[in-house]
Amino acid sequence: MNETITQNLLVFGGVLFSMGLIGFLTRRSLILMFLSLELMLSGVSVNLIAFSRHHQNYQGQILAIMVLTIAACEAAIALALVVSLYRRKATLDVSAWDELSETLMPKSVEVPSELVAAEMEFPKLTPSGLDPMERPISASFDARSGEMIEGENVKHSEAGTHA
Amino acid sequence: MLSMLVPIILGAVGYLLIQHGVVKSQATFAGGLVAIVAALLFALAFTPGTFESTILMLFCAMATGGGIGFLTAREPVYAALGFATAVLSISGVMFMQSALFIAAATMIVYAGATIIIFLFVLMFAQQTDLRNYDVQMNSPILAAVIGAIFLATITICVTSSDAMLPIRSDTTRSMSAAAYRPAAAADPSSVNAATTPLVTEEGEAAQQFVPSTTSGLGRSLYTDYLLSVELAGAVLLVATIGAIALAQRPIETQKGTPA
């Protein structure tokens, strides 16, 4: 009989906790989000008291008192924060403070995983002497001599453009 | 086992319907209310039927109703009142579980201090019309699914047959243990009753120790947990200093030049 009541109260604490969770996820006003947190805390307190009754000692109740203390501290800090935030923007909307999360940055920064020296591509310098906008510079252009060269010297000229 | 999931799903659907119906239509709202009441009645089928447990479950139902009101109300003042209802019912539950001091302290701290102060702030910040961030919620369906899964997990874990631990008689904390009985210590004839295991037979009410007195709680708190009390006092002091420092108006704005 008593075990059934304890189990029911544990489920009831879970109900309170998940209602606070839903409230915290859905609400957008700062104060109501804070009250959702308090609802979650009181669900935990119900849990502790049910276990205190079950184990027939005072330890659960003492832990519930500690939870109450921390909840009071949290209320004081949260109230001060809400007041000072409201003074700045005159709104309680939590999304008004989105810019604290760096909205200008892209969601995920592409970090090159492995930079192997062989895979890196260096920028190719534009050879002087020809207008690059005029026509595409062919690979057989020798930058050192400033003239077009033929066939088998192409690789040599590419090394020259790197320098 | 699976039938215990029915009230959870009913409750989640009822929450979503009320949530939707507050803005849209009365019929949806009424359907959500019906779903919530059906979920509560369904949950009542799992509870034992004694008088004490009936009152306990009544308090639980009131707290759940207050929580649903808190979740679905669009005016923030009504939401805060729903939260106050939930907290008062929770302290009723604690009262029925013989935690008298914590029931009173919860009533004073939550309903007395927190709710009143936050109602002041709400009315101070309240405009005549509803704000957008009060009407439109962040993805309620996803949140309801998450909450339902969470609650289903807890329910399955708690109601499984081997979930309840046997009663643990802790001897390291002598003052808060169940075996501490001043009458037993004074009366030598009843020493045997204090040293024998507390629950010898299932359901024997005479052997049960109910941690109900405030004096016992205070004795346990100020002997076994004295260091915790000191630390809690330190945390309260730090929180007070932090709250005062945070809530201070900047000096530049006091002189009239915006910061």
What is the predicted pLDDT for the residue at A23?
94
Q: Name the one residue in this structure whose structure tokens are 């659907």.
A: B13
Task: Please give the radius of gyration of chain A, using alpha carbons only, rounded to the nearest integer.
Answer: 34
The token pair at B86 is 């939930």
* Distance between B178 CA and the closest CA of chain A, angstroms: 5
ipTM: 0.81
| Partner-chain contact B216 A83, CB within 8 Å | no
Considering only residues A116 and B26, tell me which one the structure prediction assigns the higher pLDDT: B26
Closest CA to B87 of B118, B65, B56: B65
Whether B136 and chain A come into contact, CB under 8 Å, resolves to: yes
Q: Which residues of B touch A50 (CB under 8 A)?
A: 97
B150, with CB counted inside 10 A (0-12, 13-18, 19+), is: middle
Q: Name the one residue in this structure whose structure tokens are 């008291």.
A: A49
What is the predicted pLDDT for the residue at A55?
83
Whether the model pTM is above 0.95: no
Give yes or no for a contact between A50 and B155, defined as CB atoms under 8 angstroms apart.
no
Residues A81-101 pLDDT 10s: 888 888 888 788 888 887 777
Domain ranges of chain A: 2-95, 122-163
Q: Which residues of A touch B105 (CB under 8 A)?
A: 65, 68
Which of A:73-92 have CB within 8 Å of B?
73-77, 79-84, 86-87, 91-92
Is the pLDDT at A109 greater than 60, yes or no? no
Is the pLDDT at A17 greater than 90, yes or no? yes
DSSP code of residue A29? B
Cα B197 to its chain centre, rounded Å, is 32
Domains of chain B with CATH codes: 2-159 (1.20.120.1200)
Q: What are the DSSP calls for A123-156, one per residue?
A: PPPPPTTS-TTTSPPPTTEETTTTEE--GGGHHH
Is the pLDDT at A79 greater than 70, yes or no? yes
Q: What is the 3-state secondary structure (H, E, C) of chain B?
A: CHHHHHHHHHHHHHHHHHHHHHHCCHHHHHHHHHHHHHHHHHHHCCCCCCHHHHHHHHHHHHHHHHHHHHHHCCCHHHHHHHHHHHHHHHHHHHHHCCCHHHHHHHHHHHHHHHHHHHHHHHHHHCCCCCCHHHHCCCCHHHHHHHHHHHHHHHHHHHHCCCCCCCCCCCCCCCCCCCCCCHHHHHCHHHHHHHHCCCCCCCCCHHHCCCCCCHHHHHHHHHHCCHHHHHHHHHHHHHHHHHHHHHHCCCHHHHHCCCC
B167, with CB counted inside 10 A (0-12, 13-18, 19+), is: middle
What is the predicted pLDDT for the residue at B152?
92
Residue at B147: amino acid letter: G
What is the predicted pLDDT for the residue at B203?
45
Q: What angle do CA B199, B200, B201 make, to 5 degrees?
A: 100
Closest CA to A52 of B191, B196, B100: B100
The token pair at B198 is 């507390």
Residues A30-78 pLDDT 10s: 888 999 999 999 999 999 999 888 888 888 899 999 999 999 999 889 9
What is the predicted pLDDT for the residue at B136?
79
Sign of CA dihedral B223, B226, B228, B232: positive
Whether B126 and chain A come into contact, CB under 8 Å, resolves to: no
What is the predicted pLDDT for the residue at B44?
77
Considering only residues B31 and A153, tell me which one the structure prediction assigns the higher pLDDT: B31
What is the predicted pLDDT for the residue at A70?
93
Considering only residues B251 and A163, tell me which one the structure prediction assigns the higher pLDDT: B251
| CA gap B213, B220 in Å, rounded | 11
Cite the beta strand spans of A6-157 per DSSP E. 141-142, 147-148
| CA gap A56, B177 in Å, rounded | 8
Within chain B, what is the greatest distance between any pair of CA atoms? Answer: 80
Task: Please give the radius of gyration of chain B, using alpha carbons only, rounded to the nearest integer.
Answer: 24
What is the predicted pLDDT for the residue at B111?
80
| CA gap B60, B64 in Å, rounded | 6
| CA gap B86, B92 in Å, rounded | 10
Is the pLDDT at A115 greater than 50, yes or no? yes
A74-to-A41, A83, B111, B240 alpha-carbon distances in Å:
11, 14, 15, 10
Q: Which residue on chain B is closest to A43 by alpha carbon?
A: B90
| CA gap A118, A39 in Å, rounded | 59
Residue A95: other Cβ atoms inside 10 A: 10
Give yes or no for a contact between B12 and B34, defined as CB atoms under 8 angstroms apart.
no
Is the pLDDT at A116 greater than 60, yes or no? no
Give average pLDDT by consecutive 10-residue segment, chain B, 259 residues. Answer: 81 85 81 85 78 87 92 87 92 91 90 81 71 79 93 89 70 62 45 44 54 84 91 94 86 55
What is the predicted pLDDT for the residue at A18?
95
Whether B222 and chain A come into contact, CB under 8 Å, resolves to: no
Q: Which CATH class is domain A2-95?
A: mainly alpha
Which of B:60-89 have CB within 8 Å of A?
60, 63-64, 67-68, 70-71, 76, 79-80, 83, 86-87
What is the predicted pLDDT for the residue at B13?
86
